[in-house]
Amino acid sequence: MSPIRMSRVESAIRVVIEFNTAFNRHDVAGMMQLVRDDCVFDNAEPAPDGTVYSGKEAATRFWQDFFRESPHAHIEIEEIFGLGIRCVMRWRYDWVDGAGNKGHVRGVDVFQVKNGSICERLSYVKG
């Protein structure tokens, strides 16, 4: 692989890691700085097909609502790798529900990163 192509792969991984770091801070503004205006976020909920959020404005509202409803949300990256403009992240999502019970699920996100910005995120959860 050429150094230029390798640099693009590494850049995509760095962007996704930075996005996840902002997620764990519940920093929606920080997350959205890494996302294109025409982004597509395909959420895993509700099963079986999830919900698609198109555009930065819709994604911002989703994340604001998400953190309001899940104030202890945390994603631990278990594995991450890049394939051209794609980045695949295997993760564990932990939360605490309203009754104080801890829970978790595992899943995979497939990102598309172009010119240093996330343009697509597809989420899949083990169910």
The SS3 assignment for 34 reads coil
The SS3 assignment for 18 reads helix
CATH of the domain spanning 3-125, picked from 3.40.50.300, 1.10.1760.20, 3.10.450.50, 3.30.1020.10? 3.10.450.50
Q: What is the DSSP letter of 45?
A: P
pTM, full prediction: 0.91
Structure confidence by residue, pLDDT tens digits, 13-57: 999 999 999 999 999 999 999 999 999 999 999 989 999 999 999
Q: 60 pLDDT exceeds 80?
A: yes
What does pLDDT average to over the chain? 93
Place of tokens 């959860």: 125
Cα separation, 14 vs 12, whole angstroms: 5
